[in-house]
């Protein structure tokens, strides 16, 4: 080959290599500039601590919580990252700081989720002598916090203050994490029925979501309840003779969550009709959890029900008491949390959060899919 041909080919090769290197160095564009997050302990990144969170988990402010990623406690109810943390990573955004951390940078979002909170106001539980309901905040509280967060914007609703509300929700994703599991747990030992909880919880969740939509929210994700009958806490609260489903989980609790999700999805369908310009995604946690529980080995889990951090040994390694749950004196955590699905008896490991979030992001367990929502958001910018 002549030198006249060799030089252009070498030059072309170098140009392609340099261009490719530069392209790889450019960070992925952010589909959203910020995220407003609501939820309970499955989504809380630090609004609660030892003394303010769920009554039986009074050691969240110290190791071993956080040991697998942060290497110290961040008041997350896991050994590391939560589902919402993986969502932040996928959106090329920093982790969303807790609302009660008033010194945090909230440029890219804020997290209003509260560990142990309910969807229904606490007054309902006080009236019905529900002793397990100790966290005063509820989903309506979080909406109040959100309004306080944006009060300087002048946004009231998209009709009366369109410019102000457009600014608040411009490039924003609204994320409502798993809610209402605490509502069902709190009626244990009371005369309140799960059907009553379903009706009230779905009503409050729908009411608050509708208010956000009226304010101008355009892109929303609502996570359904997980398969709660597979959690060690459910096994601990029911009779040993309680019926098990095909996965070996507490059948009654899984059906309770399934029925709740069906009622919630029906309301979301109506909201999509009422707000046709909004994209409302339902995160199908229930079926996603069942998929992993049914195929644990496929996802590299060796323990489905046994708690990584707890006490008591046996099949569950879990005793539901502040004196015996994760972090209490005399308890211990497993050496390899990534092989366990349950972290502390109610909350899941970083490993399971990673698997579940990937399933959601890939689009298999959401209606419509999250990629569809991202595409719609991209279209609006074009």
Q: In the block, which residue shows the tokens 């261009």? A: 19
Separation of alpha carbons 310 and 324, rounded Å: 7
Strands 366-367 and 279-283 come out as antiparallel
Cα–Cα distances in Å, from 120 out to 123, 133, 195, 207, 266? Answer: 8, 11, 13, 11, 19
* Catalytic one of 183, 284, 285, 344: 344
Tell me 37's DSSP state: E
Contacts of 268 by beta carbon, 8 Å cutoff, 6+ apart: 206, 209, 222, 280, 282
Active site residue 347: yes
Contacts of 228 by beta carbon, 8 Å cutoff, 6+ apart: 181, 184, 234, 253, 254, 256, 257
Largest separation between any pair of C-alpha atoms in the chain: 91
Active site residue 380: no
Active site residue 332: no
* Catalytic one of 40, 41, 59, 311: 41
* Catalytic one of 58, 59, 260, 347: 347
Reported as half-sphere exposure (CB side, CA atoms, 13 A), residue 86 has a value of 19
| Residues identified as active-site | 41, 344, 347
């Amino acid at each position: 080959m002549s030198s006249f041909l060799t030089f252009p080919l070498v030059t072309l090769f170098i140009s392609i290599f340099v261009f490719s290197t530069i392209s790889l160095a450019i960070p992925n564009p952010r589909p959203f500039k910020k995220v407003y997050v609501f939820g309970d302990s499955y989504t809380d990144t630090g609004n609660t601590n030892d003394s303010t969170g769920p009554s039986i988990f009074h050691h969240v402010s110290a190791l071993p919580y956080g040991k697998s990623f942060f290497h110290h406690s961040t008041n997350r109810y896991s050994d590391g990252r939560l589902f919402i943390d993986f969502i932040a990573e996928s959106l090329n955004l920093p982790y969303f700081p807790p609302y009660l951390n008033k010194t945090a940078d909230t440029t890219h979002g804020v997290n209003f989720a509260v560990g142990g909170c309910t969807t229904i106001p606490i007054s309902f539980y006080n009236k019905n002598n529900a002793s397990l309901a100790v966290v005063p905040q509820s989903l309506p509280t979080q909406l109040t916090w959100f309004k306080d967060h944006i009060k300087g914007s002048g946004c009231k609703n998209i009709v009366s203050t369109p410019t102000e509300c457009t600014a608040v929700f411009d490039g924003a994703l609204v994320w409502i994490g798993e809610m209402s599991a605490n509502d069902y747990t709190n009626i244990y030992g009371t005369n309140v029925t799960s059907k009553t909880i379903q009706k009230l919880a779905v009503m409050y969740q729908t009411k608050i979501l509708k208010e956000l939509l009226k304010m101008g929210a355009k892109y929303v994700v609502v996570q359904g309840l997980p398969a709660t009958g597979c959690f060690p806490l459910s096994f601990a609260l029911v009779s040993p003779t309680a019926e098990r489903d095909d996965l070996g989980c507490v059948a009654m609790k899984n059906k309770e969550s399934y029925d709740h999700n069906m009622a919630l999805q029906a309301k979301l369908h109506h909201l999509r009709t009422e707000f046709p310009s909004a994209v409302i995604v339902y995160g199908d946690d229930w079926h996603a959890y069942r998929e992993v529980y049914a195929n644990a080995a496929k996802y590299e889990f060796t323990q489905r029900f046994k708690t990584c951090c707890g006490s008591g040994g046996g099949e569950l390694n879990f005793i539901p008491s502040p004196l015996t749950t994760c972090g209490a004196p005399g308890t211990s955590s497993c050496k390899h949390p990534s092989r366990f699905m349950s972290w502390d008896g109610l909350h899941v490991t970083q490993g399971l959060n990673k698997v579940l979030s990937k399933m959601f992001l890939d689009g298999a367990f959401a209606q419509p899919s999250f990629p569809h929502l991202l595409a719609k958001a991209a279209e609006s910018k074009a």
